[in-house]
Structures are given as structure tokens and as C-alpha cells.
Amino acid sequence: MKERPLILVTNDDGITAPGIRMLISIMKELGDVVVVAPDKPQSAMGHAITVNNTLYCNAVNNDEQDHREFSCSGTPADCVKLAVNEVLDRKPDLCVSGINHGSNSSINVIYSGTMSAAVEAGIEGIPAIGFSLCDYSWDADFEPIRNHVRTIAEEALKNGIPKSVVLNVNFPKLPEKEIRGIKVCRQAKANWVEEFDKRTNPMGKEYYWLTGRFINQDKGEDTDEWALANGFVSVVPVQFDLTAHHAIQDLNTWKLND
């Protein structure tokens, strides 16, 4: 009998988040599941790893008894590192991260703990996908995207994911019947214009809340932002080689060795 795929599940919202509970239930239909996820919310941690503090990874009792779960005191990237090196007895066939409560489209991929977990898995040579729903509510309804999550994961298991690439998948906040399909896209050229709300605490000490506005300057109809705004699921292939290859020729004209 063929061995079932081994699927590592993680996230950045924490092991109790509704999004990861939905993702676990979907992945159990496709393979054997092991969960290693943060013990508390770790949103917007980017690719941070823990180097100056101790890490804990504790088994979690779950009522279903058909998969193993571990909560980790570290970041999403830490979770994947610990899973691969300490928890699992073989390399997973797939790593899925999410389902994130909130968008990770466009430039948000840089800050995302959800996607950093997927990128860390990709670095380890594991096919990986980050899933996000454009709804920041803790009570977000993930049921409308269930079939699409399964389809994308099934296709990744069947076909593989190109080497050194991970998938950034975002879902619009829509009823299932209003989702128009799945589009493979490029990342939109957009950014945050940061603002800081300056306040004073009761002791007279100043502090700041980070706020801001998301500005999409990209009018292309092949971007993740366009897809989401028009009712499509966006799938962006992300590479973790950050070399700007197009700039090498220009930089070689500099007089760096004279």
C-alpha cells in the first residue's frame, strides 16, 4: 500500500486560531498531518528566528487522536526548523501555513509570518504553500474557501512545486458561489504609507501605535491585488533567492577595484 503523504501544518496566528484548525481538517483528508505552530500570535514577524532565548516545543493533547500537534514558543520560522530537525522522522511531502486571518498579498509577503514559515520550508527543500483569507476577524468564515484550499494542496502534492519556489495564496472575503476561480498572478507593486499615532501614557511617557494606508500603484490585471478585487483567488509563486539579477551588469560598471 502506498504511503500517505506527510503534511506539516503551521501558521503565525497561533495553534488555537480558527484558521489553522480549518487547515488541519482539510489536510487530514489528503495525508498524515503533524502540526507545529506558535503557542501565541506571531503575526508580522517576518522571517525572524530565535537565537538569544531558549525554545520550547511541547506536545499538545487533541481530542481527535488522528494526528500529532506541538506548540512552539518561537516564531513561525522556528516552528518549521524545529519540526524538520526535532519532531519529524522524515521530510514532509508538503508544508502548509495558515490559514491566515488577513491578507498577505503584494508587499505584505515581506512582513508575513505565515509566508515566512512557508519560505523556511522551501529553503529546507519542502514544497510549501501559505494560505491567507482577506478577513482579519478572529471569527472569519473559512468554509467558503475550503474546496479551493484542498484543490490547490492536492495539485501541489500531485505535480510538485517548482524548485526554490513557494506559493503565496490569498482568498477574497466572499461567499463560495461568488468566488470566480483561481488565477496565477504576479505580486502587485504596492506599499504601505506608514503613520504613527503618538500618545502619552498615564505616567507621562510617550508611546506610538503604528498605523498606515495601503497604496496600490499597480494597474495591471495580472496582479494578486487585481485578482482579489475582482473575486478571484490569487496564487503568486514566490522565490527566496533575493538576488536582483538585472542589476548585476550595471553594478559591474562601478569602479569598485580601482
Structure letter (DSSP) for residue 141: -
> What would the pLDDT profile of 210-223 be if each residue is shown by its tens digit?
777 878 888 889 99
Burial of 79 (0-12, 13-18, 19+ CB in 10 A): buried
pLDDT of 42: 83
What is the reported pLDDT for 1?
58
DSSP assigned state of 223: B
- C-alpha span between 206 and 201 (Å, rounded): 6
Tens-digit pLDDT profile for residues 80-109? 999 999 999 999 999 999 999 999 999 889
Identify the H or E element spanning 21: helix 18-27
- Mean pLDDT, consecutive 10-residue stretches, the chain (258 aa), reads 89 95 97 95 83 91 82 95 95 96 92 94 97 95 97 97 96 97 93 83 88 81 95 96 94 91
Reduce the DSSP state of residue 8 to 3 states and report it. Answer: strand
| Structural domains in the chain, sorted by start | 6-189+219-242 (3.40.1210.10)
- The number of angstroms, rounded, from the C-alpha of 3 to the middle of its chain's C-alpha atoms is 27
Give which of 20, 162, 164, 8 is closest to 80, Cα–Cα.
Answer: 8
